[in-house]
Amino acid sequence: MGAKKDGIMAYPFIFAWGRYLGSNDDFIFNEIAAAKEDNAPPTAIYKDRVGEEWRTVGDINGRLGRILFSNQVYLIFWDYDPALCERLLDMIPQ
């Protein structure tokens, strides 16, 4: 779990976005590996396959989408580390 945990901590929003969409862990961790290779921004959520650009939490459209994603981040990270969870939630535009 060490390498996976490191990946989650390096790109927590990719992990949360994958869970939000119901992606399997293999897909999520492949995305995290690609993000590391590309030196994606820390707020990356996925790589746009058309433009080959990393989308970030700032690209989430609509207030409801941001609220729902914030809830996902909370559900994943609160029990693990409340302080980390608060920092992550602060990074999501409201």
Question: How much is the pLDDT for 2?
Answer: 66
Question: How much is the pLDDT for 49?
Answer: 86
Give the bridge partners for 82, in sequence order: none
Give the bridge partners for 54, in sequence order: 47
Sorted by where each begins, the domain ranges of the chain are 2-91
- pTM listed for this prediction: 0.90
CA 37 to chain centre: 16
Q: Cα separation of 22 and 27, whole Å?
A: 10
Element (H, E) at 46: strand 44-47
Nearest residue to 11 (alpha-carbon basis) of 57, 53, 49, 62: 57
Write the pLDDT tens digit of every residue in 28-71.
Answer: 999 999 999 999 999 999 999 887 899 999 999 999 999 999 99
Q: Cα separation of 88 and 20, whole Å?
A: 15
